[in-house]
Amino acid sequence: MKFRSRFHAPYCSQQILVGLACIVGMLYPMSVWAVDLEVATFQIDATPPVGSPLCDALVPPSIGVDDPLSVRGIVLLPADQPAIVLVAVDWVGIGNGGQDAWRQALSKAAETSPDRVCVHALHQHDAPGCDFTAEEICADHELQGQLFPVDFARQTILLAAQALVDAVAQPQRVTHIGMGQAKVEKVASNRRILGADGKVQHVRYSSCPDPAIRALPEGTIDPWVKLVSFWNDQEPLVAVSYYATHPQSYYRTGLVSADFVGMARSEREKELPNTPHIHFNGAGGNIGAGKYNDGSQENRPLLAKRLADGAKAAWEATEKTTTDDLSLSWQTRQVDLPVAAWLTEADCRERIADKNASQIDRLAAIRDLAWWKRCQAAGGITIGRLRLGKLDILHLPGELFVEYQLAAQRMRPESFVCTAAYGDYGPGYIGLAEAYSQGGYETGRVSRVSPRVEVVLMKAIQELMQ
């Protein structure tokens, strides 16, 4: 039975076919199909207009553009399955109702189901966010449009959906999958530095002006940039990279920027001008460039070059595998992440209603309430795993600690495991259970989940990696 034809049937018929595919997926959750694969890629500009709120209003509004932002997506088109859509956006985060809007629009454009669409932010700070749940609360308190540029966000979603439609009208056949990795030197370091008592003594952040703290060891990181490429014989169709770190070199300038990860991506596209490049941020919640970055502006191109050099080495180390004998599967889990003990509806509403509080504090309370509301709704958060031969790509939420990424690799050591984090941005930071007793910035009130999150999320990851 074919679940999906190549966009020739009427839309209503396509929806029926997608529904049948989803039913089969529920009945046979570990099923795989021999792959007959095509891909399409799309890209649009995502640079907000001057005056837009940036970084959920935590940095000054935009006054100009240092370098443009983009939405970049790849659509996998297996012959006998619904499409799979993977998207990376140069925004600080897309959460709650923002995720719903993106996934619904793109799934409709691809004639697939929303659970086969993953939308991730790269988390640059001189960039906007997107959370329509929070915006609804803002409107109730005369704070509409203060968190992010709402009309611009909606227009960007529409443009991305149209670009997807245009792209899948001209798919390209995939004959080979490429996989390569290389170490990135002097970029990533762990942000949380523990003292002799096991508590966080220093947080190194993305930049660190103190040379003594910069001199401390890198700590736990994942030093590898991983590169997946899709080929039609000898022609590379698209390169997709994964690397775990906060992407900031410096920010709060008011000048919109894709920062050093965007610069590195652009450098690789210059070297391979006919190959689109899509980059995903890995589990970099507790990772930054602080050991190698004092915050000076000249460090941005240096960090970009180091990441680009790693990506180039990964490209050169790529080994290609024919798709003739590969199988493809897409699996998801619905995960209910436990809400932090401090986060209650009453507390959020009290902070929002306090007109003597700063606007930043009231907006933070609105974001907290948006996550609380999402947790009360049925369904939880969708996480996903794409398996294509020995390739496994995990799609996960929040500002995830790198240990989740490393654990996933240990769960399937025979596979080439990549991780895209910063999916649903609603939960904020997601630490390990022990991290919540260690103190530090990431496990304070910027994490909207409880220490039980490790058990819940690790179990779901384990199920996907089986």
**Residue 347 Rama label (left phi>0; alpha psi -120 to 50; beta):** alpha
Question: How confident is the model over 397-432, as pLDDT tens digits?
Answer: 999 999 999 999 999 999 999 999 999 999 999 999
What average pLDDT is seen over the chain? 93
Q: Cα dihedral sign for 134, 118, 206, 256?
A: negative
What's residue 30's pLDDT? 41
pLDDT band at 73 (very low <50, low <70, confident <90, very high): very high
Q: What is the mean pLDDT of residues 192-205?
A: 97
Q: How remote is the C-alpha of 87 from its chain's centroid?
A: 8
Q: Quick check: 1 pLDDT over 80?
A: no
Q: To the nearest whole percent, how much of the chain has pLDDT over 90?
A: 91
Question: How confident is the model over 316-328, as pLDDT tens digits?
Answer: 999 999 999 899 9
Q: Quick check: 118 pLDDT over 50?
A: yes
The full set of domain ranges for the chain reads: 11-465
How is residue 84 written in tokens?
């799979």
Q: Quick check: 32 pLDDT over 80?
A: no
Q: What is the mean pLDDT of residues 75-79?
A: 96
User: b vs e for 247-268, b when ≥16 Cβ sit within 10 Å of the residue's Cβ?
Assistant: bbbbbebbebbbbbbbbbbbbb
Question: How confident is the model over 292-307, as pLDDT tens digits?
Answer: 999 999 999 999 999 9
Cβ 52 vs Cβ 72: under 8 Å: no
pLDDT band at 27 (very low <50, low <70, confident <90, very high): very low
Give the H or E element holding residue 369: helix 359-376
Question: How confident is the model over 235-268, as pLDDT tens digits?
Answer: 999 999 999 999 999 999 999 999 999 999 999 9
